[in-house]
Amino acid sequence: MAKAKHVSETPATQWLRKAKISFTEHNYDYIDHGGAQEAARQLHFPPAQVAKTLIMEDENAKPLIIVMHGDREVSTKNLARQIGVKKVTPCKPDVAQRHSGYMVGGTSPFGTRKTMPIFIEQSLLEFPTILINGGKRGYLLELPPTTLVTALGATPVEAGLDAHA
């Protein structure tokens, strides 16, 4: 495992190490509301290759995770239709934090407090690696996107909209 500046273990890195999944660590200076776009800029990766992890919920307040390109928005209508629910909406930050165990801006799909269904934007799987949050603001992990499918059982969906659409 290649390492950048080491960040203290997070539930995500503990989960990955326990599952014997290798990853590369990337640190950047977290900026409020900078999101994946800012991480991509600082780390010199295309914004589409930096994934954001969002906690959402269906009409029954059942939480779910969607992993999306950092430069795109989630079409909640497309997502709801594809996963067979009436409605999907983003969780409020405090609710998302309760479900995931992570601070918003540092949410990882690995090592979450609650087990939730995970969906990944299909086109992310075309990259050899993606950067995804490692469980702390300013800390991303680089790994093959297929890891989300094989290790977490993530379901590929087509729910992305261009951010400028």
Instruction: Report which of residues 70 and 3 the model is more confident about.
Output: 70
In degrees, rounded to 5, the angle at the alpha carbon of residue 92 between the alpha carbons of residues 89 and 96 is 95
Determine contact, residues 76/98, Cβ cutoff 8 Å. Answer: no
Q: Which position has the token pair 């776009």?
A: 37
Domain span including residue 38: 21-162
User: pLDDT confidence of 124, banded at 50, 70, 90?
Assistant: very high
Mean pLDDT of the chain: 92
Determine contact, residues 133/19, Cβ cutoff 8 Å. Answer: no
Structure pTM?
0.91
d(CA 1, CA 41): 24
User: pLDDT confidence of 120, banded at 50, 70, 90?
Assistant: very high
For the chain, how many structural domains are there in total?
1
* CATH for 157: 3.90.960.10
Which of 139, 147, 137 minimizes the C-alpha distance to 104?
Answer: 137
- 71-117 pLDDT, tens digit per residue, is 999 999 999 999 999 999 999 999 999 999 999 999 999 999 999 99
Residue 2: inside a domain: no
Residue 150: inside a domain: yes
Residue 56: inside a domain: yes
- 10-38 pLDDT, tens digit per residue, is 999 999 999 999 999 999 999 988 888 99
Which of 92, 79, 77, 132 minimizes the C-alpha distance to 109?
Answer: 132
Q: Residue 114 is which amino acid?
A: K
Chain Cα centroid distance, residue 120: 8
Residue 128: inside a domain: yes
Predicted local confidence at residue 94, as pLDDT: 96
E strand or H helix at 120? strand 118-121
Residue 11: inside a domain: no
- 136-150 pLDDT, tens digit per residue, is 999 999 999 999 999
Residue 9: inside a domain: no
Residue 77: inside a domain: yes
Residue 3: inside a domain: no
pLDDT of 163 higher than 70: no
